[in-house]
Amino acid sequence: MDGSTALDGVSVLVVDDDEAMRTLVCRMLKRMKIGHVLEAEGGEQALERLAAAPGGIDVVVCDWNMPGMSGMELFKQVHAGRPDLPFLMLTGRADLDSVVAAKKAGVHGYIVKPIAPQELKTKITFLISHGTTHA
């Protein structure tokens, strides 16, 4: 089977404090035939979801600006425990400094809102096909 189009075995965790944006991203993922879509409304809940499914999440799609724990803070915690877990940052920040900061921190992908479904699919497909295999 060609892994570039087969996303039905993929699990994605969507983290965003904005319920409308989280719902929109989840709908996009489901239309792409992503096998399992989980949601978290913030960093703490995301860490709980990841702990409950160690190795069971293939990609994290996360908003940058959230109250409490920011997307970058969540990335640093997730990356410390699972550096191989692809992390896609969603943000309204289009400035070069933010992109550079995310890349320097090790964020695997970056999408500036508004999110185009094809861009989301392309980034997730790339991260899955170029990521490290999970135990």
Q: Residue 133's pLDDT band (boundaries 50, 70, 90)?
A: very low
For the whole model, what pTM was predicted?
A: 0.90
- In this prediction, residue 109 carries a pLDDT of 93
Residue 70 lies in a domain: yes
15 assigned to some structural domain: yes
- Looking at residue 94, its pLDDT comes to 77
Give the pLDDT band of residue 132 (cuts 50, 70, 90).
Answer: very low
Residue 25 lies in a domain: yes
**Averaged pLDDT, 51-59:** 86
Query: SS3 for 64?
Result: coil
10: in domain: yes
Q: What is the mean pLDDT of the chain?
A: 89
What percent of the chain is modeled with pLDDT above 90? 73
Q: Would the pLDDT of 15 be above 90?
A: yes
Is 126 a member of any domain? no
> Could you tell me the pLDDT band of residue 127, with boundaries at 50, 70 and 90?
very high
Per the domain annotation, does 22 fall within a domain?
yes
Count of domains for the chain: 1
For residues 90 and 64, is the Cβ–Cβ distance under 8 A? yes
Environment class of residue 126 by beta-carbon count within 10 Å: exposed (0-12), middle (13-18) or buried (19+)? middle
Q: Any idea which of 14-18, 41-45, 108-112, 129-133 has the lowest mean pLDDT?
A: 129-133
Range of the domain at 12: 6-34+47-56+66-78
